[in-house]
Structure 1
Amino acid sequence: MRFRGSLVSDGAYLLLILSCFICIVFTAGDPNRYLQNVIFLNVAFLIAIVTYFTNVTAGLILNILFIFGYGTYTLYQTIVQGDGIGVHTYFWLVMTPAFTLVTWLLTYGTKQLQQENERLRQSNTTLATMDERTSLKNTLSFQYDAPVFMALSVRYGIPLTLLVIGVKYWDEIKRMIGEQQLLDAVAQLSKLGQTSIRTNDSLYILNRDNPTWGILLFTDRDGANLVMERLKERVADLNRSEFAEKYRVGIVLRMGAFQYDPETVSNPLEFVAQAKRQLEYDV
């Protein structure tokens, strides 16, 4: 589909250039009908433009009206003025519909490419396991990884805790700094989370619009509390650095943790929901 759309679009573009070249040569080659040919050339362009921004049906209707009008004009010249019918008479009868057809092919090929691009974009959004802004694993990746962590926890009796992190007063912060600064702040906070965990723990961004991170920790609830304290210390250091001066705000994190229990957690979404409920206690 993508190859066909590209082929049609490229072919139509070349045909359009060729058609313009032929019309220019024809118009310049007959000085006696120069003004007449320029008028017909503009009419052909106008019909092509209407076809591009509407559809081929509108272009065909306009071409029928043009052929009818041009035929009437030619008949008048032949009968009343006695002009003969030559190549110039048939040229615009052929070239005007040709312009319309080439323009429609160009529009068709472009739309095919746009549709293919939209399908690829949606497919990338659906299947991508990395967040493009922060290069962190996203919710889809969490859906894949969490069952593995949960199975390992049950099989080897290793405690597993999900730590969820949010930013207090995020709606107010968004109104205070620009969009690009928001993206930079989220990326910087994500790096802070990465440097605060062990290599066998896994960090995810669960919501990038209202920044929420999740960390799967092979530890119990007490171990998660130590990680939370370490993160709070890192954020405090960050607020005392150039971060607060750059973004004109101080960041305060909300954190909640939930230890995995096979009896109460049946899937990754329930695991996230249970951990997010703990955020309500961090006020």
Structure 2
Amino acid sequence: MNIDDHGKASLLADIGLVGFLTLIGLTTVLVDLSQHPIWSTVYLAITMMLMLVTYFYGLIPGLLSNLLFVFGQIVSAAYVSLQLHQEVPLRMTIWLVLPGLLCLTLAVMMRHQQELQLRNHQLRNRLVEQGAFDAQTNLRTMVAFQKDARMYLENHRQFNLPVTMLVIRIRYFQELEKMLSQEQSQRLLKLISSVLSQESRDNNLTYFLNRQTPTWGMILHTEERVAQEITERLKQHFNEQLARDPQLKMLDTSLIAGIACWNSEDMENPYDLMHRSIRETEYDV
């Protein structure tokens, strides 16, 4: 799926959602205004079952079920009119088409959402294969950092934008690792990765740089003062999430951070910036 196909699928999914919600609203109004609430309630319940059939089995089974429902309505209307000699309200004919429209819009929305999910899954797998994406933490890796950092440095040279790198590590991780089970260790890594992802803005890229000594990095177009504020928020958010986690709340640990700003006079490449940030973590007491 190329970019145009992705945009088309996204648009059709949105159209399907809007159409589905519109029909749901129309159905609610019709049931509320109906002079035959019992029949409307029964038809509404059947419509919900038809939507469940469409959701779990697809459009074709859903439409076939709708045809059976339409046939049932025609038979029941004929029985009421011919045998009971009662008039069937014209307003009830809306139920001949409304369930089918609901199932159709639901199917359109689901189909294109599934296409988008499939494309995202394929893209994620492709990034993992290229080494630019860590499947466990859902963060970018050292491979991606090399490419992204060069782009940031180029922006610095062209537009004089500040480039700052923030590195996060776990305090006393070597000692802590001996007390943790593998499941707890993985859970801790995911928790920290989640905190960084939530705190990072759209223009701040977050990385998982080292698995042996868990190291996270964030590269920013900002001043050191702002990076320090982000660091404090990260630490506070981590402490809050750690206290809420049933498996990790007993841990006595915290994050340490190092911040370094790009200086072309004593730095030559992105690795210099990263190593300077890592060294700065030693002074975070």
How high is the TM-score relative to the length of structure 2? Answer: 0.53
1:259 partnered with 2:252: no
Pair 240,271 (structure 1): closer, same or farther in 2 beyond 3 Å: same
Q: Does the residue aligned with 1:146 lie in a helix, a strand or coil?
A: helix
- Cα distance, 1:268 vs structure 2: 1.3
Work out the CA distance in 2 between the residues paired with 1:241 and 1:212.
23
1:169 partnered with 2:175: no
The root-mean-square deviation of aligned C-alpha atoms, in Å, is 2.0
Amino acid in the other structure paired with 1:197: S
Counterpart of 2:234 (choices 231, 246, 250) is: 231
- Return 5+ residue gaps in structure 2 as ranges: 1-126
1:203 corresponding residue in structure 2: 206
Q: Does the residue aligned with 1:150 lie in a helix, a strand or coil?
A: helix
Q: Does the residue aligned with 1:233 lie in a helix, a strand or coil?
A: helix
Task: Tell whether the 8 Å contact from 1:239 to 1:251 is kept in structure 2 after alignment.
Answer: no
Work out the CA distance in 2 between the residues paired with 1:249 and 1:170.
11
Counterpart of 1:191 (choices 190, 194, 204) is: 194
Q: Deviations over 1:160-205 (max 9, x none)?
A: 1000000001112211111122112101110100111111100001
- Cα distance, 1:126 vs structure 2: 8.6
Task: Tell whether the 8 Å contact from 2:128 to 2:134 is kept in structure 1 after alignment.
Answer: no
Identity percentage of aligned residues: 28
1:152 corresponding residue in structure 2: 155
1:81 corresponding residue in structure 2: none
Work out the CA distance in 2 between the residues paired with 1:182 and 1:131.
16
Task: Tell whether the 8 Å contact from 1:204 to 1:215 is kept in structure 2 after alignment.
Answer: yes
Q: Does the residue aligned with 1:195 lie in a helix, a strand or coil?
A: helix
- Cα distance, 1:125 vs structure 2: 8.4
Task: Tell whether the 8 Å contact from 1:235 to 1:251 is kept in structure 2 after alignment.
Answer: no
1:139 corresponding residue in structure 2: 142
Following TM superposition, the consecutive aligned residue runs of length 4 or more in structure 1 with deviations greater than 6 angstroms are: none
Task: Tell whether the 8 Å contact from 2:139 to 2:208 is kept in structure 1 after alignment.
Answer: yes
- Cα distance, 1:127 vs structure 2: 3.8
How high is the TM-score relative to the length of structure 1? Answer: 0.53
- Cα distance, 1:210 vs structure 2: 1.5
1:280 corresponding residue in structure 2: 282
Work out the CA distance in 2 between the residues paired with 1:143 and 1:235.
27
- Return 5+ residue gaps in structure 1 as ranges: 1-123
Pair 260,136 (structure 1): closer, same or farther in 2 beyond 3 Å: same
Task: Tell whether the 8 Å contact from 2:242 to 2:248 is kept in structure 1 after alignment.
Answer: no
1:241 partnered with 2:244: yes
Q: Does the residue aligned with 1:240 lie in a helix, a strand or coil?
A: helix
